[in-house]
A and B are shown apart, each in its own frame.
Chain A
Amino acid sequence: MVLEFEKPIADLELKLQEMKDLAKGKNVDLSSDIQSLEDKIQNLKKETFQNLTRWQRVQLSRHADRPYALDYIYEITNDFVEIHGDRSVKDDKAMIGGLGNIDGRTVMFVGQQKGRNTKQRQERNFGMANPEGYRKALRLMKMAEKFGKPIVTLIDTPGAFPGLEAEERGQGEAIARNLKEMFKLKVPVICIIIGEGASGGALGIAIGDKVFMLENTWYSVISPESCSSILWRSWDYKEQAAEALKLTAPDMLVNKLIDGIINEPLGGAHKDMKTMSNNIKKAILEALKELDKLKPEKRIEKRIDKFCAMGVVNE
């Protein structure tokens, strides 16, 4: 899949391939042309990706080729054991989790999972968890606390599922409980927005000592589309809504609503999954090193103080 603003790059890449094929087939030396075209592509990429609009970042966060939670987990861990179920209603496949080993250290992973094709997308409910998903997440986090394992959550959701059964089973209560309980966890908690961070559905697993966003993700109280439909009474103002919401990683960092940004490879996370995974792994290990130095009570205190300082009022 090629996004609108990626088209000029894709066109040049196609041309480069043709040139390479031509050189090979006819056995002519086009190496200097190829080199200059390659430079041109690289420059165009840099220019494009250094000047992304907010809406373009939203599009990248939803890119069909973008890695999902389990892709990263399998890439950065050994011996990952997936754990299922909330022990009450069912196993929510939009919320995944389990124990894995990063560089010899066992970590509990929790995250929303999207699907790659139609069948998977349905099974994963487009990454929109039901209450049992949030309760499953909490069960896993409590287990991590019991065994003294740090927690890493990977956030990627267009929102908590707005369905009939979700309401019957207390979607609001499930998210609310997670917020409160995550503040009490005695183990280190690291939260990473890897794609979409939509509202309460994202926050329900995003209370942490460190909250990071990948470079091309978004995190806000509402999606630009829904914001447009409510405030502008039309779906057509999503670009303006994205600008107004200031929902990108750099915005959120400037406003001190997150702790850091994890860089993506040029062109986005999906262009180089290995580099991306490595960057994530490095961020996790560095954060753990810092958090390990604090006593659990101190970590909790700092976690609470950090979120309590968020907000701007006049007195």
Chain B
Amino acid sequence: MAWFKRTDKGIKTSTEEKKDAPDGLWFKTPKGNIIHTRELKNNSYVCPDDDYHVKIGSKEYFEILFDGNKFKELDENMTSGDPLNFVDSKPYTARIEATISKTNLKDAVRTGVGKINGLDLVISCMDFNFIGGSMGSVVGEKIARAIDYSLKNKIPFLMISKSGGARMMEAGFSLMQMAKTSAKLALLDEAGIPYISLLTDPTTGGVTASYAMLGDFNIAEPGALIGFAGPRVIRETIGKDLPKGFQSSEFVLDHGFLDFIIDRRQLKNRLTTLLNLLNN
């Protein structure tokens, strides 16, 4: 019965030779459904079993929306300054550098100009991975220039928001980005160029209190957290638990601040319909 006899002692496979499933091949939704990442990607990063919308960034949104993933990126090399020489537990510049190398992003927003189903569109899309999608000078300036591009070329503007709010390390400067983006949107208003604001999970703080809520159409993905103050702050203020579904897309729609909620898998077609309705 030599089968059962272990002749060599210990396991001799070296670490490099071990065959492991690569990390991140499977994705588990909050409801516990498990899905292969390739299938997830083919499904606009929405879990087919429970319709969970996975948090994605500008790369994925551009891929989903632009025809053949073809677009021209604007201001792609703009990075953050440090006007206040801000230091908390570490210097702001060090934080920025670390985040750039970690995320491969330059800041929390990217702008692409391209076509969706043949229609011209300027899209600015936030990346939550970059310091919580916080809005500093770069975010404000890039959005302002995206709107300038819309104005100059008379192309509709889509803003995809995903942000915890203003970037504290730019203090007064970050506050004024709310003003700057709203000023540009006032000009877009006067020019009669459509502005669609898509709010995704999460959209809070100064972003909600400026461009995210200023769309001709404010639309959202299902189940996103949308609000001005964060839930923790509100809970502490009122000293009570918050009702179920409070500050969800569905709640915000119900209270009249959204035009509709759109499943990400239908986003491109719904945007196309909307733009065509405005064009014809």
Query: A interface vs B, CB < 8 Å?
Result: 160-164, 166-173, 175-177, 179-181, 183-184, 199-200, 203-204, 207, 219-222, 227, 230-232, 240-241, 244-247, 251-252, 255, 257, 303-304, 307-308, 310-315
Contact = CB atoms under 8 A, between A and B. Distances in A.
Contact of B228 (A175, A207, A244): A175
B182 A183 contact: yes
B138 to A, nearest CB: 5
B214 interface: yes
B26 interface: no
15 contacts: A162-B233, A170-B257, A172-B257, A199-B166, A199-B175, A200-B210, A219-B172, A227-B168, A231-B89, A244-B88, A312-B81, A312-B137, A313-B80, A313-B81, A315-B78
B234 A163 contact: yes
Closest 8 CB pairs of A and B: A162-B229, A311-B137, A172-B208, A179-B182, A312-B81, A172-B228, A171-B228, A312-B83
B213 A172 contact: yes
B173 A257 contact: yes
A244 B88 CA distance: 8
A239 to B, nearest CB: 13
B237 interface: yes
Interface string B147-190: 00000000000000000001110111111111110111111011
A211 to B, nearest CB: 10
Contacts, number: 192
Contacts of B246: 164, 167
A221 B209 contact: no
A232 B233 CA distance: 17
Contacts of A245: 84, 168, 171-172
Contacts of A173: 208, 213, 257
> Which bucket holds chain B's interface residue count?
35 or more
Interface of B: 75, 77-84, 86-89, 136-138, 140-141, 144, 166-168, 170-180, 182-187, 189-190, 205-206, 208-214, 227-229, 233-234, 237-238, 240, 242, 246-247, 255-257
A204 B182 CA distance: 11
A180 B189 contact: yes
Nearest to A309: B180
Given A199-B166, A255-B173, A179 B242 contact: no
B233 A307 contact: no
A204 B257 CA distance: 18
B209 to A, nearest CB: 4
Given A176-B213, A255-B83, A231 B179 contact: no
A310 B171 contact: no
B179 A203 contact: yes
A251 B187 CA distance: 30
Contacts of A162: 228-229, 233-234, 237
A314 B81 contact: yes
Contacts of B247: 167
Contacts of A172: 208-209, 212-213, 227-228, 257
B279 to A, nearest CB: 24
Give the interface centre of B174, B175, B184 by most chain A CB atoms within 10 Å: B175
A171 B229 contact: yes
Contact of B187 (A203, A221, A231, A304): A304
A177 B176 contact: no
B78 A314 contact: yes
A315 B229 CA distance: 33
Contact of B174 (A166, A167, A221, A231): A221
A197 B95 CA distance: 27
A15 B91 CA distance: 47
B95 to A, nearest CB: 10
A309 to B, nearest CB: 8
B185 A246 contact: no
Contacts of A315: 75, 77-79
Contacts of B257: 170, 172-173
Nearest to A169: B255
A174 to B, nearest CB: 8
Given A162-B229, A244-B84, A311 B78 contact: no
